[in-house]
Amino acid sequence: MANVLDDLKNSYKKGGIAQKLIFWNIGVSLVFFVFQGLFPEVYNKVFYWFVLTDDVKGLLFKPWTLLTYSFIHAGIVHLILNMILLYFVNQLFATFFSQKQFVTTYLLGALVGGLFFCLFGLIFVHAGNVLVGASAAIIAPLLALVTFNPHMEVRLLLIGTVKIWYIAAFIVLIDVLQLMGSSNVGGHLAHLGGAGIGAVYAIMLKRGTDLSAIFDNVVNLFRKKQGTKFKKVYVNKNKEKSVKNDTNADVQQKIDAILDKISKSGYESLTKEEKSFLFKAGKE
């Protein structure tokens, strides 16, 4: 048992942001599953303090539920399917983007998806529904990827190679159709909210605005300013800046060439070196 716990700890520490999110989703959901089965009375009291309800007034007293709902799932199947999707979306997302950008779109998807669900509560005057699950959060990075490079190709079991925008269009279409006559209209609105903010993120990124910088600004607010411990060393800043700009320009030029190749021939047409270069550039 101790070895299993040690392995889990090491896996959590060494894993990327997606793996950490999977750990948190599974851990939080399992706690609620246990309470639901063994302590139903406690579960009923605690449950509504962490899930998102369509009562907008309740949101004012429990604002944290705009995020916490996304770590709780309705059942084992719901949890497993979402975690599989989270894993594969992250693998594709990492082709072009960094881990910080992934967690940004993930959290924005959860927040905006939750707001869309609350909008449903306003329209239908508190129907008594609750929202759980990471679907809206996971759809956000998927749609960001599709908006950034719609012609990227992926291989699907029993189907073969398809362009990723086909998959995204199919998922969005299902949610749109489910808005008519479904018993879970609020949930499907949340999915569409996550999809929308993912697309907006990619559009803004193409125009030079990276919303993941929000996290840097938040961290800087809590970071203490420290005085300089070493003496100043004066360097030729103009020369250093010139060399850095030249290097950045070369890297960006190579990235643009690779992206053009993907747009024309698909991701599979890249060489191993080009895939490796693009992956490393996305991490920086």
User: Which domains does the chain show, CATH number per domain?
Assistant: 2-219 (1.20.1540.10), 234-283 (no CATH)
> CA geometry: angle at 57 spanning 126 and 26, to 5°?
80
pLDDT tens digits along 135-146: 999 999 999 999
- Say which residue the tokens 């949101």 belong to: 59
What's the pLDDT score for residue 274? 79
Positions of the chain with pLDDT lower than 70, given as ranges: 1-2, 121, 124-128, 215-249, 263-268, 279, 282-284
Rg (CA), the chain: 22
* Residue 160: its H or E element: strand 160-163
* Residues in CB range of 216: below 8 A, 6 or more apart: none
Distance of CA 135 to the CA centre of its chain: 10
What's the pLDDT score for residue 243? 46
SS3 229: coil
pLDDT tens digits along 164-192: 999 899 999 998 888 877 777 888 889 99
Q: Contact 95/152 with Cβ under 8 angstroms?
A: yes
What's the pLDDT score for residue 237? 53
SS3 225: coil
What's the pLDDT score for residue 8? 75
SS3 259: helix
What's the pLDDT score for residue 218? 60
Distance of CA 240 to the CA centre of its chain: 36
Alpha carbon distance 102, 7 (integer Å)? 25
Give me the torsion for CA of 39, 44, 47, 49, rounded to 10°. -130
What is the number of alpha carbons within 13 Å of residue 39 lying toward its C-beta? 9
